[in-house]
Amino acid sequence: MVTPVEEFTRIWIQILDRHDGSFLVRYRMYATYTDLHIHILLKDKHVAKSPFILKGSVYHEGCDCPQPSGSVWEAHMHCPQSFPQIDRDLAIYSSVDPDVNAQEIPQRFGQRQSLCHYTVKDNRDQMAV
CA distances from 51 to 7, 12, 41, 78 (A): 17, 18, 9, 16
What is the pLDDT at residue 45? Answer: 93
CA nearest neighbour of 58 among 14, 12, 2, 113: 2
Residue 3 has a CB neighbour count (10 Å cut-off) of: 18
Please determine, for residue 25, whether its predicted confidence score (pLDDT) is greater than 50: yes
Domain positions in the chain are 1-67, 80-129
| Angle of CA points 93, 52, 65, to nearest 5° | 85
- Span 72-122, pLDDT tens digits: 877 777 777 788 888 888 888 878 787 888 888 888 877 777 666 666 666
Q: How many CA atoms lie within 13 A of 64 on its CB side?
A: 0
Give percent of the chain with pLDDT exceeding 90. Answer: 7
- Given a contact cutoff of 8 angstroms between Cβ atoms, the answer to whether 116 and 105 are in contact is no
CA distance linking residue 81 with residue 74, whole number of Å: 10
- Span 40-59, pLDDT tens digits: 988 999 998 899 998 888 88
What is the pLDDT at residue 121? Answer: 65
Backbone angles phi, psi at 82, to 5 degrees: -150, 170
What is the pLDDT at residue 129? Answer: 38
